[in-house]
């Protein structure tokens, strides 16, 4: 690769940081220079990830404000990233997934005539309201981007059907599996931290651990209330320990703490840092979540996920029998959780449809050998 190429990596939320960390680590390993910009759309949840992967941003836009509207957030991102792009010329800007950060940074890069590469490209529900606003963010980023790293063949197919040229798409697997294997490897080698020590003190791991997370905007209000009612019902099984790291969004915090506080076997805790969350996932028998990343990670750990959404852009996991779409229907969550908790059969380990942990290597190979060689 010509050494004078200037790469900008930009992300802002917890999941983007987890999924972009393997890219940063691979570039460091190859001694390819790049600049890292965080919008800090999330603050505490982002910083936990930066710490674990030892990533130090060159630019920190610090845009998070408590519970700000999507429009306020978007305008702050657009205006702050423009200053960076005005002061420094980049040959390639890398963005990830479906967040406000990715869509607005891609747009700003386009306005400044920079090439954009989209990691985790091509996932679609084709329903603008679900996930909201992420489906449209992902489509916008896809329209703007010059290069598309699709995690699965299905994601590539979506892009082809939208008219993207085959030669600009690469199927890579999902970088979250790279991050997961990196982390599991550390844990196997004895990694511990204060979150893990606290979990060991608080949770009775001789019981069946049910891990719960949730944050989707389309579930605010009734959806989260329904989920809480289901959790209360599941907690009546005294063989079960429920652990719920509660997202810092006030729309989640308010309802979850109001409905689920004060029960012996429901542990409401702050978001865990990535290694302790992976540690906990690997000890769970069931995960109930609306998270995209967790749907992708869980098959590698052989843990079933009840997906509390009406739609998913990750249907590979549903088809493979790793995850089950239950919506935020209280009855359905209770019934499906009961089936999994009462089953004694240990499932055979299956191949993870989201990849084998080599996504970052494939992405950086393509950038070095195709994007920059052709330039």
Enumerate binding residues for ligand UD1 (CB under 6 A): 13-15, 41-45, 64, 66-68, 73, 98-100, 133-134, 215, 217, 248-250
Shortest spacing between CB 277 and ligand UDP, in angstroms: 4
Phi first, then psi: give them for residue 38, nearest 5 degrees.
-105, 135
The answer to whether 172 and 354 have CB atoms below 8 angstroms apart is no
Closest CA to 252 of 285, 217, 280: 217
CA dist 196 and 191 (Å) reads 9
Beta bridge mates, 324: 306
Radius of gyration of the chain (CA): 20
67 contact choice in ligand UDP, ligand UD1, none (CB below 5 to 8 Å, kind-dependent): ligand UD1
Closest CA to 271 of 195, 202, 200: 195
What token pair was written down for 224? 């989260």
Choose between 66 and 163: whose C-beta lies nearer to ligand UD1.
Answer: 66
Known catalytic residue at 120:
yes
Tell me which of 26, 134, 313, 336 is the catalytic residue: 134
Residue 245 binds ligand UDP (CB under 6 A): yes
Helix, coil or strand: residue 307: strand
Choose between 95 and 240: whose C-beta lies nearer to ligand UD1.
Answer: 95
Residue 292 binds ligand UDP (CB under 6 A): yes
Residue 151 binds ligand UDP (CB under 6 A): no
CA dist 102 and 78 (Å) reads 10
Residue 23 binds ligand UDP (CB under 6 A): no
Residue 53 binds ligand UDP (CB under 6 A): no
Phi first, then psi: give them for residue 207, nearest 5 degrees.
-95, 175
Residue 360 binds ligand UDP (CB under 6 A): no
Residues with catalytic roles:
98, 120, 134, 215, 217, 247
Per CB under 6 A, residues contacting ligand UDP are 14-15, 18, 176, 213, 215, 245, 271-272, 274, 277, 291-294, 297
């Amino acid at each position: 690769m010509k050494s004078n190429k200037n790469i900008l990596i930009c992300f802002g939320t917890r999941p983007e940081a987890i999924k972009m960390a393997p890219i940063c680590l691979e570039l460091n390993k190859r001694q390819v220079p790049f600049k890292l910009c965080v919008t800090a759309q999330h603050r505490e949840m982002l910083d936990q990830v930066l710490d674990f992967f030892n990533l130090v941003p060159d630019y920190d836009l610090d845009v998070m404000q408590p519970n700000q509207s999507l429009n306020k957030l978007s305008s702050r991102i657009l205006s702050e990233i423009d200053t960076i792009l005005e002061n420094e010329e980049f040959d390639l800007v890398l963005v990830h997934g479906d967040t406000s950060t990715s869509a607005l940074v891609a747009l700003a890069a386009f306005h400044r005539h920079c090439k954009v590469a989209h990691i985790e490209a091509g996932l679609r529900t084709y329903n603008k309201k679900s996930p909201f606003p992420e489906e449209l963010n992902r489509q916008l980023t896809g329209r703007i981007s010059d290069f598309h790293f699709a995690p699965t063949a299905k994601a590539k197919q979506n892009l082809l059907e939208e008219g993207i040229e085959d030669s600009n798409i690469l199927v890579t697997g999902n970088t979250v599996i790279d991050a997961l294997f990196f982390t599991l490897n550390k844990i196997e080698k004895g990694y511990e931290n204060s979150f893990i020590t606290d979990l060991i003190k608080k949770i009775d791991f001789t019981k069946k651990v049910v891990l719960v997370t949730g944050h989707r905007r389309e579930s605010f209000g009734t959806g989260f209330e329904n989920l809480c009612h289901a959790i209360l019902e599941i907690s009546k099984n005294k063989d079960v320990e429920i652990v719920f790291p509660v997202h810092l969004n006030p729309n989640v915090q308010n309802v979850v703490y109001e409905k689920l506080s004060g029960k012996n076997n429901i542990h409401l805790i702050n978001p865990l840092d990535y290694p302790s969350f992976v540690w906990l996932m690997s000890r769970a028998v069931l995960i109930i979540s609306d998270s995209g990343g967790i749907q992708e990670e869980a098959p590698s750990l052989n843990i079933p996920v009840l997906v509390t959404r009406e739609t998913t852009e990750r249907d590979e996991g549903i088809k493979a029998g790793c995850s089950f779409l239950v919506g935020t229907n209280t009855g359905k969550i209770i019934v499906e959780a009961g089936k999994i908790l009462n089953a004694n059969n240990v499932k055979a380990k299956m191949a993870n449809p989201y990849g084998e942990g080599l996504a970052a290597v494939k992405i950086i190979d393509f950038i070095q050998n195709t994007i920059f060689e052709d330039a």
